[in-house]
Chain A
Amino acid sequence: MRRLISASLALFLSTTAAFSQAVPGGKLNLIVQPEPPSIMIGTTTNGPALLVGGNIYEGLLRYDEALKPMPSLAKSWTVSEDGLTYTFALQEGVKWHDGKPMTSADVLFSANDYLLKMQPRHRNLMSHVASVTAPDDKTVVFKLKEPFEAFMRGLSFYTMPIIPKHIYEGTDYATNPANDKPIGTGPFKFDEWKRGSYIHLVKNPDYYVKGKPYLDELYYQVIPDGASRSVAFETGKVDILPGGSIENFDIPRLKDLLNTCTTEKGWEYFAPLSWLWLNNRKPPMDNVKFRQAVMYALDREFAKDVLWNGYGKVATGALSSKLPFYKDVEPHYAHDPAKAKALLKEMGYDGKALKLLPLPYGETWQRWAEAVKQNLEEVGIPIEIESADVAGWNQRTSNWDYDIAFTYLYQNGDPAIGVDRNYKTSQIAKGNPFNNVEGYSNPELDKLFDEAAVAYPATKRQELYDKAQKTLQEDVPVAWLLELGFPTIYNCKVQDIVTTASGLPESMRDAWIKK
């Protein structure tokens, strides 16, 4: 018997929020911070790029708050009983922004070619897939090598955006001119990008969901200064401040303004977790005692309360508590400078000064770097803060040219998609700041992760992930900081800005303005 998941039910769920009186028309101003290097999300997958690019490119599926799949480019799907064959029926009448029809050939191209070359996250997913085929124009069949429960959560716009074959096939993907004028299937089309000023998207009138999108225009404003972004919201120049786009100190003040709403939803899929890369290749970071000492030295409660205004949560380990298979395992690393000092003494740390690379995402991160420096120096680790812009930070981390570096990564709905990439030996590869950048390698853990990914059923996976989390917790390959909380602040006239687990980037098609 085949298990049929009713697409219409999911469609119904996705539209109930926007029920009845949604009115078309109007434009929205959002903040994009910092200005992304590109909005071609097949290759550039940092937060700001996704925020804009998520309107242009789409994946096969979207996910609700509980990470249950909803239709996107796939209108319905079936999963064979052995969990090996996934068959997707594509939406009718989908067109690329240049007018060409979108077919299963584009899905094949994206899955088998483009993303395989350009995206390690996708490579990771595809390692479980035996073949992707298209029996006809509107059907795509994924055959898996072994059951892989996470597969269903790996088909978002973020992990597998569908890329136009007719534009990219046979070209150099990294330098294709379409990277600057992206062509997707999404509810909004690219119109103009004034560098340093704004990115302008316009409604896609041929969008395959009748009546959507409601909005005519989206402006993503680039305002480099944090205080000015807050003022832009206060004066009504922007309607939506995406999570993380203003200084955390400003949040309480803005929240209390008239006609201002906030939501912390829309981050369930990403489940952002921040940590410090500790370059395991170099001494003293190659010593597990040193890494544990760093964990004990950090005052993460302070960071949460003071720098993040109490939003978010102190990370207990490698998995965000929002993720399936999360477990709170021992040992806990509370703020304990004495213990940190003892560990450093035990390992015979020579007091060598280390460099700390902050994340160039605004003032909060700069202040956080200063706080971490202070924490580490209190236990006797001299720290020198370096400076880098976004491009520099990307380059430095992806080429392993750092001692300690800030980062935060999305965990993408399943540890097999968004977590093991940071710890498995097979994920050590230069040129990507989001894989195993710290250079940690533990064959036992590799095995646990590999087995957990394909284990069946979920209880068996849980067991293996418990072990993996325990191992990581003791080895501390990186120093976990916080599960970040990013409240979205918006003008209350805007409705339905968060309709999926990924929030703003893919909810604009449902958003509308109350008259």
Chain B
Amino acid sequence: MKDFWKRFSQNRGAVIGLVILLLVVVLSIVAPFIFTKSPWAMVQRPFIPPFTMDAFVLGTDPMGRDLAAGLAHGARVSLLVGLVSTVVSLLIGIPIGAIAGYFGGWVDDVLMRFTEFFQSVPSFALAVVLVAIFQPSITSIIISIAVVSWPPVARLLRGEVMSLRSREFVEAAVLSGQTHATIIWRQILPNTLSPIIVLASMMVAAAILIESSLSFLGLGDRNIMSWGYIIGAGRTVIRQAWWVSFFPGLAILLTVLALNLVGEGLNDALNPRLARKGK
């Protein structure tokens, strides 16, 4: 653990990313306590520019809603969607990749063709279609993001498992009579954890981007304030009120950047080859 932290902190970008990410997490946790009113509440006159009123630091949107409140509450939605959809896509991708890589042969063929089917459709277009079919809601958005983002997980895991499959410790496990499930679960999966963690951090970033894009296009959950929604609604008035689109855009940029930096840091810290070099 100490080693891990040391290697992680050698990447300055990763540390900055982690700090930003922690700030966003804290913001999303304290949002309901700082901004007790609903972010939809129309609290002041519309189009107040930022930094002109102490009570509304970031100004108000075209309907007089507090932009800062919207950003804070939106952080929670973005993180929630990012995390949950990543977990769901891991839950789909890991079993498929592990089974394909472990058993090989026709099982591998069938599962990989199935995976390729999803990879051959542009992922954002598929997400749009899925959300449109299932009616936009937070659940349907999470599910469609998960559906379009699990294939890379499956492919990554298949490769990892395939290389581990022929290692001595796995063969030893087979000889000692362990079941396939136990071997996959106890012997192989723990050894694939590092690349999955790295990939997952990038996937959270991608999921946040997809959610924002969907909301921007008006396919977000109509009852939830999210960053993409604020930009989408603010876009029509960008000539009069730049700040309505600018601040949530900045928030998305920083969060996604932070996640990518953290992902890179994790890669440095967890990559066994780099680790050996470090020692």
Contact = CB atoms under 8 A, between A and B. Distances in A.
B135 interface: yes
Given A371-B42, A385-B222, A253 B239 contact: yes
A306 B63 contact: yes
Given A307-B63, A374-B40, A377-B38, A367 B240 contact: no
Contact of A227 (B40, B222, B235): B235
A226 B239 CA distance: 13
Nearest to A302: B42
Contact of A367 (B38, B218, B233, B239): B233
B136 interface: yes
A386 B220 CA distance: 11
Contacts of B46: 306
Nearest to B238: A227
A488 to B, nearest CB: 20
Most buried by A among B40, B41, B222: B222
B178 interface: no
Contacts of B233: 363, 366-367
B184 interface: no
Question: For chain A, what secondary structure do more than half of its interface residues adopt (helix, strand, loop), or is it mixed?
Answer: helix
A367 B64 CA distance: 11
Given A302-B42, A374-B42, A249 B63 contact: no
Interface in A218-263: 226-227, 247, 249-250, 253
Contacts, number: 52
Nearest to A362: B236
A249 B40 contact: no
Contacts of A153: none
A444 interface: no
B237 interface: yes
A387 B137 CA distance: 10
Interface in A363-409: 363, 366-367, 369-371, 373-374, 377, 384-387
B62 interface: yes
A307 B40 CA distance: 15
Contacts of A387: 135-136, 218, 222
A374 B41 contact: yes
B235 A374 contact: no
Interface residues of A, number: 22
A385 to B, nearest CB: 4
B157 to A, nearest CB: 36
B236 A363 contact: yes
A335 to B, nearest CB: 12
A307 B136 CA distance: 24
Given A306-B64, A374-B42, A385-B222, A249 B237 contact: yes
A253 B223 CA distance: 30
A8 B257 CA distance: 74
Interface in B200-251: 218, 222-223, 233, 235-240
Contacts of A253: 239-240
Contacts of A250: 236-237, 239
Contacts of A249: 62, 236-237, 240
Contacts of B239: 227, 250, 253
A61 B41 CA distance: 48
Most buried by A among B38, B46, B223, B233: B223
Contacts of B218: 366, 387
B62 A367 contact: yes
B63 A370 contact: yes
A134 B277 CA distance: 100
Contacts of A374: 38, 40-42
B240 A386 contact: no
B236 A226 contact: yes
B221 to A, nearest CB: 9
A247 B136 contact: no
B139 to A, nearest CB: 13
Contacts of A386: 135, 222
Nearest to B63: A367
Contacts of B62: 249, 306, 367
A234 to B, nearest CB: 10
Most buried by A among B40, B46, B63, B238: B63
Nearest to B41: A374
Contacts of A384: 222-223
Contact of A371 (B63, B222, B223, B238): B63
Contacts of B222: 369, 384-387
B236 A227 contact: yes
Given A226-B236, A247-B237, A384-B223, 14 more contacts: A227-B235, A249-B62, A249-B236, A250-B239, A253-B239, A253-B240, A306-B46, A307-B63, A366-B218, A370-B63, A374-B41, A385-B222, A387-B135, A387-B222
Ranked nearest first, the 6 interchain pairs of A and B with the lowest CB-CB distance are: A385-B222, A247-B236, A249-B237, A226-B236, A363-B236, A227-B236
Interface of B: 38, 40-42, 46, 62-64, 135-136, 218, 222-223, 233, 235-240
25 contacts: A226-B236, A227-B236, A227-B238, A227-B239, A247-B236, A249-B62, A250-B237, A302-B42, A306-B42, A306-B46, A306-B62, A306-B63, A307-B63, A367-B62, A367-B63, A371-B63, A373-B40, A374-B40, A374-B41, A377-B38, A384-B222, A386-B135, A387-B135, A387-B136, A387-B222
